[in-house]
Amino acid sequence: KLSVDTGAKGTKVSPDLYGVFYEDINHAADGGLYAELVQNRSFEFDSVDEPSYTGLTAWSKAERGATVTPAVTGEDPLNPNNRNYLRLDVTGQGTAGVRNAGFNRGLPLVKGERYDFSVWARRAEAGPLTITVEDGSTVLGTMTVRVKAGGWAKYRASFTASGTTDAGRLVVQAPAGRTDLDMVSLFPRRTFKGHGMRADLAQLIADLKPRFLRFPGGCVTNVGTYDPYAETGDRRRIYQWKETIGPVEERPTNFNFWGYNQSYGIGYYEYFQFAEDIGAEALPVLSVGVNGCGENRPLTDEAKLARWVRDTLDLIEFANGPVTSTWGRKRAEMGHPKPFGLEYIGLGNEEIYPEFFTNYPKFANAIRARYPDIKIISNAGQTSQGAWFDRMWQFARDQKADLVDEHYYNNPDWFLANNHRYDAYDREGPKVFVGEYASRGNTFFNALAEASYMTGLERNSDVVRLASYAPLLANVDYVDWTPDLIWFDNDEAYGSPSYHVQRLFSTNVGERVVPSTFEGEGRPVEDIKGAIGLGAWNTAVRYDDVKVTAADGTVLLSDDFSAGAGKWTPGPGTWAVQDGAYAQSAQVEDARSTAGSADWSNYTIEATARKTAGAEG
């Protein structure tokens, strides 16, 4: 029997409770939410960053009668931020040039849809460029642009696709002579609300009806070569919002924390615009110059720190200032005279180092003095960071931060067991922003555990004001981190089970949570823990948190198998992981080969097992 005390006042649910946390991880931007179809459009890939990169990554030669020598060079570039471009030296009759492979299988086209091409080009003598999009020998679109003699200039063309493909190639050909090309770009005309985001991915996010958009990420915001103002040669700069606004050809490419090039095609202006387009509050997170995510190379130079603080104030002016202000004018020039109405700002992401205690007040005090209405979010790192987490929390209390950003990635059991986590939180101190959380795995069971946990967030939403699952997006071919909320390739996307739980909750937010009680037979999730002998493995049981220890104490395998289902198939010599358990499958194989195929009795195997319906044993 379920009894609900409808007359009770209950807890008022935070109107902003459910939002999204966007990070450029797993190619969430380039090859993801950013609708650009061309990979390495500005020829900035370089083996200095990543051994497999070259200036011609994703590009290859395409010769149609003439021959070509393509070379990436930096001599007299388009501008100092855009260091490299492509030089085509074409000889002979006919044309020759290059072909771009796009992301995943190639460039996706939909029959009847319109596509917009643009390029910056330079030729000593005038001459035409022929641009085609091809799928094998089938041409699905053709365009021509006439390059004038002289310096760099931008050219545009468009076409309607005559067929559908997910494996197209963009081919750009030039006549004989030298042609320089940069910012070779192809966009679908149809993007989300016409603002450059891939429509299906943006729609999946919008369908969550998120109340806030935390951006531009976690570790991607606060880890980089730690001089934000290094003048030259720094290819891994920490995320600086000012580098990401203005004309795209003037935004630098940065090699990001997650190990790939980030074009900044989606920059701060686009984040603000996207937040507005999905009806969410923009919630930017900025580093205070301390690092985190395993790195501690703090910014201690006082002059540079002062500049960093000024840049942070300028960001608020960029979002909220009138068009007569310096940064408000830049926002207006980009197309949004009306202020974006920024209310929250995050200071630091998992910046759990002593310098945080010195740097944070410089930023927070300056913001409080100039913009007293902005709510400041401090950060506590991950709960697994133990004493540091507590220290960071105490610091946030002392500093009277408005909210504290907590992060945790735990097993589903933890989520089931910690429904009451916030019941005892201090109601007088800073409020909580659960800025990153997920149970490890993308199965239905994970989603169920999260749903159970989220009832505790709602019940305590007088303290927990904001919460966002993390990470949001993952391209199936460029995975840095699992689990993720939305998976996609170049032309398809779907929500994980956790996505559907988030959507169910965030599109059905009540006003109050009133007390309720349940009487009757509880049917808890069956949870068997402890040592499990080999004979007990059962295909109908899912094993998580598997740890295999040799007699001498060596841990051969210790991991969570819940990602990608993670079932084990038992049987002599057939140990394997089913259903694509990503990195973990390799680890199982390692453990198996280290252990040898014969006698497992010398090894201790511990696991958490969950019976699925009807399982025996």
Question: Could you count the other beta carbons within 10 Å of the beta carbon of residue 111?
Answer: 11
Element (H, E) at 132: strand 127-135
CA–CA gap between residue 547 and residue 307 (Å, rounded):
49
The least distance separating ligand AHR from the CB of residue 243, rounded to whole angstroms, comes to 19
| φ/ψ of residue 51, rounded to 5 | -55, -30
CA dihedral sign of residues 130, 136, 137, 139? negative
CB of 228 to ligand AHR, least distance (A): 18
Q: Which is nearer to ligand AHR, 295 or 589 (CB)?
A: 295
Closer to ligand AHR by Cβ: residue 350 or 544: 350
How many CB atoms are closer than 10 A to CB 411? 18
d(CA 31, CA 451): 30
The nearest distance, CB 360 to ligand AHR, in angstroms, is 17
Q: Which residues contact 310 (CB under 8 A, 6 or more apart)?
A: none
Centre a 10 Å sphere on the Cβ of residue 171 and count the other Cβ atoms it contains.
20
Output the smallest distance, CB 226 to ligand AHR, in A: 17
Question: Do the Cβ atoms of 466 and 433 come closer than 8 Å?
Answer: yes
Closest distance to ligand AHR from the beta carbon of 221 (Å) = 8
For strands 59-64 and 528-531, give the pairing: unpaired
CB of 405 to ligand AHR, least distance (A): 9
Nearer to ligand AHR, 334 or 352 (CB): 352
Contacts of 277 (CB under 8 A, 6+ apart): 192, 193, 195, 197, 202, 206
Residue 292 or 566 with smaller CB distance to ligand AHR: 292
Q: Which is nearer to ligand AHR, 214 or 331 (CB)?
A: 214
The three-point CA angle 456-460-466 to 5° equals: 95
- Residue 205 in tokens: 């996010």
Least CB distance to ligand AHR at residue 349 (A): 5
Closest CA to 415 of 544, 318, 583: 544
- Active site annotation includes 606: no
Closer of 466 and 557 to ligand AHR (Cβ): 466
By residue count, the chain amounts to: 617
> Nearer to ligand AHR by C-beta: 407 or 567?
407
Minimum distance from CB of 30 to ligand AHR (Å)?
17
Cβ distance to ligand AHR smaller for residue 268 or 575? 268
Q: Report d(CA 162, CA 142) in Å as an integer.
A: 10
270, containing H or E segment: helix 268-277
Sign of the CA dihedral 258, 259, 260, 264? positive
Nearest position to ligand AHR, beta carbon: 218
Do 435 and 403 form a contact (C-beta atoms < 8 A)? Answer: no
Burial class (CB in 10 A: 0-12, 13-18, 19+), 518: exposed
CA dihedral 449, 441, 591, 258 (to 10 degrees): -140
| Closest separation in Å from C-beta 351 to ligand AHR | 10
Minimum CB distance to ligand AHR, residue 392 (Å): 13
**Dist CA 575 CA 568 (whole Å):** 7
Q: Which is nearer to ligand AHR, 131 or 205 (CB)?
A: 205
The set of residues, in sequence order, having a beta carbon less than 8 Å from that of 611 and lying 6+ positions away, is 526, 528, 540, 541
Nearer to ligand AHR, 318 or 344 (CB): 344
Which amino acid, 59?
W
Active-site hit among 350, 351, 450, 458: 350
Sheet holding 375-382, edge to edge: 20-21, 212-215, 281-286, 344-347, 375-382, 403-410, 431-439, 464-469
Up-side HSE of residue 219: CA atoms within 13 Å toward CB? 18
Q: Which single residue is written with the structure tokens 């943006």?
A: 202
| Smallest distance, ligand AHR to C-beta of residue 292, A | 8
**How would you class 475 by CB atoms within 10 Å of its CB: exposed for 0-12, middle for 13-18, buried for 19 or more?**
buried
* Residues making contact with ligand AHR (CB under 6 A): 23, 25, 217-219, 293, 349-350, 407, 436, 470-471, 481
DSSP state, residue 612: P
Strands 473-475 and 541-549: unpaired
Contact 20/205 with Cβ under 8 angstroms?
yes
Catalytic residues: 350
